[in-house]
Structure 1
């Protein structure tokens, strides 16, 4: 097992890395700004669930396959790039909300506490949160660079004399994901706090969607142009 000092260093490095904005953070912030802190937190949980896929893949040796097989890497890479480009396109072509939409949203919110209308709206909200979760999950899980990051970063903190390196890897990977979840939730809370204090937020969100769309397209193109690891 890693020593206490190594674990603390690992946690500090993990927090600093998770504070760096990327596609995951962008997705969380966008959801929190548009739909409130609840959607942002659900997005944070989805991103963390995607990270656990990479930890499991790396621990089981699938990450090594991605690191050594150009075909496997490129398959996941193109899937991830296509998804990011699709996300960017949706944001770029999203229409700006009209004042009537806002009034209707408030009216529906008031109806949510009465009878059948409340049940319908609750069902729509639940399905919307599921879509947010799986969207965040896909944003992370379809990025092969994440599993390669785990392969490159985590082993540095596993002692050479560790009796079971695989379990040490899993432990550190889970610890990293816990740090990641806390930081991602912080991004969601911060974005929601900002949204409640911005004036004319609907108009601002229209421009934020365009900016987020451009960034997602940029991330998608960057991933598409990433070469498979040399071996």
Structure 2
């Protein structure tokens, strides 16, 4: 199949991996809970866009540079961790209450910023790059001369299934907390908890090691 082997196994494994909670899951959940369903879905699209970048880089062989160079890995890791902690800090210091339907309609939420933050946190996570160059080649025929197309096809499949799952997360997590949005005190603390979660996620990324 276009240089791809064991596609069914790849599909099942990819879905299971997407269901496993990770950094991207935490980011989407915090945005969904703090700023609503649309913000969560925009975050999912941002994460998916970052994965597209990783897929293209892996297909072209550029991600190997990160895998081979500890300096490049650490620089990327530190930038990504710092950015996550910055986003979390902004949520911690934000004095506004959680998103409501009326606020959402007024256009006060910067969805472009949410998309950008999600995409950058994914792109700047070196573990994602290492995952793509370690996982996808296992399902490409070793005798295949041009591996770019199989890489892109496998990457697209993984991203599509992952995006669907992220949409489900955004919808359900925002629905669960929607009734709390009218409570100013509760909404204030939820916003802070989400900020702490992102700061903690940044620290986790900073302390991660290449394996």
Flag whether TM exceeds 0.5 (same fold): yes
Task: State the shift of 1:207 in Å.
Answer: 3.0
Q: Provide the C-alpha distance between the structure 2 equivalents of 1:217 and 1:199, rounded to a whole number of angstroms.
A: 23
Between structure 1 and structure 2, the one with the greater Rg is 1
Range with bigger deviation, 201-210 or 80-89: 201-210
Q: Give the one of 120, 124, 129 matched to 1:138.
A: 120
Q: Which moved more, 1:7-16 or 1:87-96?
A: 87-96
Match of 2:57 in 1: 57
Deviation at 1:211, TM superposition (A): 2.9
Q: Is the alpha carbon distance of 1:226 and 1:54 closer, same or farther for their aligned partners in structure 2, counting shifts above 3 Å?
A: same
Deviation at 1:217, TM superposition (A): 2.3
Mapped contact 1:59–1:170 kept (Cα < 8 A): yes
2:132 counterpart residue number: 150
Gaps of 5+ in 1: 113-120
**CA pair 165-95 structure 1, distance change in 2 beyond 3 A:** same
| RMSD of aligned alpha carbons | 2.6
Runs of 4 or more off by more than 6 Å in structure 1? none
Could you tell me which residue of structure 1 aligns to residue 189 of structure 2? 207
1:42-191 residue pairs with structure 2 within 5 A? 42-95=42-95, 97=97, 106=102, 121-122=106-107, 124-125=108-109, 128-191=110-173
The count of corresponding residues between Structure 1 and Structure 2 is 209
Using the TM superposition, name which of 78-87 and 7-16 deviates more. Answer: 7-16
| TM-score normalised per structure 2 | 0.86
Q: Equivalents in 2 of 1:155, 1:55: separation in Å?
A: 11
C-alpha separation in 2, matches of 1:23 and 1:91:
17
